[in-house]
Amino acid sequence: MKSIVKNKMRTLLTMLGIIIGVGAVIIMVAIGQGAQSQIEDRIQNLGTNMLVITPGASNTGGVNQGARSFNRLQAEDAEKLRTQNTMLAAVSPVIVTRTQAVGGQGNWRTTINGVDVDYQVIRDWDLVSGTFFNAADVRQMKKVVVLGATVAEQLFPGQDPVGQKVRLRNVPMTVIGVLSKKGQTAEGNDQDDAVFVPYTTVQTRLSGWTFIAQILASTYTTNDIDPAMEEVRVLMRESHDLAEREEDDFTVRNQADLTEAAEGTTEVMTMLLAAIASISLVVGGIGIMNIMLVSVTERTREIGIRMAIGARGGDVLTQFLIESIVMSVLGGLIGLGIGFGGATLLGNITGWSTKVSPDVVAVAIIFSAGVGIFFGFYPARKAASLNPIDALRYE
């Protein structure tokens, strides 16, 4: 420690590479993890925990008519899933039809979705104005509607449509909410070009259909998807009174492609950050090795004196190795402070989301010590291998 304090400039130059390296890594990891968290949230909004139950296929004269050609889905099926499941967070029937919406300053042909209150939870869809309908509205078949952003803009440009009236198939509806924008699907369909009405209202006042297009459900976590799908299958077979040998007359699917996209994004981001961290710390380690080699040359006579009065090669190696580790860890701690401060400042200036997990802090300290050991070993060994007589004669 006396040697480190005595040679302040040399110590600072030695630690500088680690300080910059660790600080840069912390800032990059903070930005990267913040971005990764935002990406995961956006993918989550698409429904990575979502299960979709659709009608099955029919077979006529040996000819299979394909998916959704045999519809036996009813609202009672959704109610059974809601009341008897153990792994689902939310369940909603969905009735889909298209019609002309009239109101405000014009009309617009759009998709009507008859849904339950859980639909908003399943899709994780926020509102920019008003509220979503509640269980009482569904039970009482209220004539209320929630508009998608596209429909709201077409019918009420530049206005808040909450409280206004729209007509769907000549049925007057009161607008109670406007959903936030979700954008297009992977197929190019506009998710915001839709209106949402209690499914009971759609059944009794708009479509008159007994059967429903699909049932949406969501699990608590992505790990629950597979067992939840099996539970849904069992409950649906019970609801449709299917015998053991009869095939399913419905299909249960999940959003596996979105889950894989989320996992792939996470893996790529992790690999990228690991590569950047490795390069930064290696550069800092090379700086330590260079300065330590210079230090060995400067202190050759000191090493010779120590050996002349009884120090062994292992003692000299330990001395220089400990100096290298101490400076690396100190540089790492200073770099952590700079990294946290820099990440916070950058987040405030740019508005980016930044996030640093405790694991990153622990890894940074361990890496700093590891760099000190790895890159400090060669200079320490070189010092330990000096001949005492040659070292004492060194000028």
Q: DSSP letter at 223?
A: G
Q: What is the pLDDT of residue 67?
A: 44
| pLDDT tens figures, 254-309 | 876 566 666 677 667 767 766 776 677 777 777 777 777 777 777 777 778 878 88
**Contact criterion met (CB below 8 Å) for 330 and 12:** no
**Residue 277's Cα: distance from chain center in Å?**
21
Counting residues of the chain whose pLDDT is more than 70, the rounded percentage is 87
pTM of the complete model: 0.59
| pLDDT tens figures, 17-34 | 778 878 877 887 777 777
* 55 closest CA partner among 89, 94, 111, 113: 94
Q: What is the pLDDT of residue 195?
A: 95
Q: Is 313 exposed, middle or buried (0-12, 13-18, 19+ CB in 10 A)?
A: middle
**Contact criterion met (CB below 8 Å) for 132 and 118:** no
Return the higher-pLDDT residue of 241 and 387: 241
Report the alpha-carbon distance of residue 7 to residue 21 in Å, rounded: 22
Q: What is the pLDDT of residue 63?
A: 37
Q: What is the pLDDT of residue 387?
A: 77
| pLDDT tens figures, 345-366 | 887 887 777 777 777 777 777 7
| pLDDT tens figures, 116-173 | 999 998 888 889 999 999 999 999 999 999 999 999 999 999 889 999 999 998 899 9
